[in-house]
């Protein structure tokens, strides 16, 4: 049984599965090594599946042995010690139904933002593991189906590309070194991930007041009402960000460095909190942290995309 099957394959709750994990299928350190190798291998899988992108699919389909070869390489990189599926034919509609149950990019982004910005990350990381288990299983079933149903190859290969290149890459990114520059966040992700992988008990977390507060603020910041209180605060923060990052951009070649600085500044919670404090000195620390958390999430969810014209015009 694969490691993720063992941890997430049961219909019992995740917490119960972890707390009662007495069956030691793999030594703890071996489990962790397997997981790290799995994460390290995913960029190679992303590179391989690019042959099935919308741009490349026609040329790839013209060479069926090449298609089979790529599928075999992807399967080989998906270690059975991590996840495996039963070797039985599933119906086409059953696999497509499973594909429909894969989380959307927005749903995955909400989880990864929780991991990056919120103090309590455990439940989000558990959800990411659970979704990875489901998504990789769908990937393996798709590969089986492509071999059995060549007549549907184009539809299934483009679906395979999408699930690996978009969904899986977002899920795996949380566990990669480039996910965040914050060493404390990296250490906490590693601690929780290792506890999950080796089957250690995880203590129940209670969300902080600022995290609960931020959830309500996020709805206003991401809404269409430009007159709402927290949308206006978000606009104030945005103006300060444009000034700090050097808007407007005079030359297209400056765009990438500008975006890099903008994203790094938004991720810098200390800079963000100081900015909010300067704008609203009477706000208490909990409210300030909640506003920053809501703004960071709203930005990553694309709620401020309509303000991007300020990149090229004075704020």
Quickly count helices (H) and strands (E) in the chain.
Answer: 16, 0
Cα angle 297, 299, 305 (rounded to 5 degrees) comes to 150
Distance, CA of 284 to CA of 213 (rounded, Å) = 13
So what's the pLDDT on residue 9?
Answer: 64
Single pTM value for the model: 0.73
> How many other CB atoms sit within 10 Å of the CB of residue 106?
9
So what's the pLDDT on residue 22?
Answer: 45
Task: Compute CA distances 23 → 12, 82, 114, 221, 271, whole Å.
Answer: 15, 16, 31, 47, 47
Task: Compute CA distances 298 → 5, 215, 245, whole Å.
Answer: 34, 10, 19
What are the two backbone dihedrals, phi and then psi, of residue 20, each rounded to the nearest 5 degrees? -105, 25
Distance, CA of 283 to CA of 234 (rounded, Å) = 15
So what's the pLDDT on residue 313?
Answer: 61
So what's the pLDDT on residue 17?
Answer: 46
* Of 302, 4, 3, 293, residue with least CA distance to 135: 4
205 CB-near residues (< 8 Å, 6+ apart) = 120, 122, 123
Task: Compute CA distances 315 → 20, 240, 255, 305, whole Å.
Answer: 56, 9, 16, 15
- Please list the ranges in the chain whose pLDDT falls under 50: 10-23
So what's the pLDDT on residue 13?
Answer: 41
Cα angle 167, 168, 173 (rounded to 5 degrees) comes to 105
How far from each other are the two terminal CA atoms of the chain, in whole angstroms?
57
So what's the pLDDT on residue 117?
Answer: 87
So what's the pLDDT on residue 95?
Answer: 80
Write out the two tokens for 239.
């103006």
Say if residues 210 and 290 touch (Cβ distance below 8 Å).
yes
Domain boundaries, the chain: 3-198, 209-311
What are the two backbone dihedrals, phi and then psi, of residue 209, each rounded to the nearest 5 degrees? -60, -40
So what's the pLDDT on residue 285?
Answer: 92
So what's the pLDDT on residue 193?
Answer: 93
């Amino acid at each position: 049984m694969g490691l993720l099957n063992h941890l997430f394959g049961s219909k019992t709750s995740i917490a119960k599965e972890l707390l009662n994990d007495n069956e030691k299928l793999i030594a703890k350190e071996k489990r962790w090594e397997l997981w790290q190798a799995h994460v390290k291998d995913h960029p190679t899988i992303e590179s391989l599946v690019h042959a099935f992108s919308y741009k490349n699919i026609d040329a790839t389909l013209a060479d069926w042995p090449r298609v089979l070869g790529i599928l075999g390489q992807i399967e080989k990189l998906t270690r059975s010690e991590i996840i495996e599926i039963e070797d039985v034919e599933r119906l086409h509609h059953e696999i497509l139904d499973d594909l429909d149950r894969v989380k959307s990019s927005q749903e995955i982004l909400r989880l990864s933002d929780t991991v990056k910005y919120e103090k309590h990350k455990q439940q989000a990381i558990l959800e990411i593991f659970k979704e990875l288990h489901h998504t990789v299983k769908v990937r393996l079933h798709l590969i089986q189906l492509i071999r059995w149903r060549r007549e549907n190859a184009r539809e299934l290969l483009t679906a395979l590309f999408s699930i690996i290149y978009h969904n899986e890459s977002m899920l795996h990114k949380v566990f990669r070194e480039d996910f965040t520059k914050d060493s404390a966040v990296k250490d906490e992700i590693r601690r929780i991930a290792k506890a999950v992988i080796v089957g250690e008990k995880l203590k129940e977390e209670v969300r902080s007041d600022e995290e609960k507060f931020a959830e309500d603020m996020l709805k206003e910041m991401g809404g269409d009402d430009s007159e709402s209180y927290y949308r206006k605060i978000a606009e104030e923060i945005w103006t300060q960000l444009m000034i700090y990052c050097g808007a407007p951009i005079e030359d297209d070649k400056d765009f990438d460095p500008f975006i890099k600085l903008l994203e790094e500044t938004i991720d810098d919670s200390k800079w963000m909190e100081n900015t909010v404090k300067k704008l609203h000195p009477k706000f208490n620390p909990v409210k300030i942290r909640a506003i920053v958390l809501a703004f960071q999430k709203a930005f990553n969810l694309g709620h401020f995309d309509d303000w991007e014209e300020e990149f090229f015009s004075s704020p």
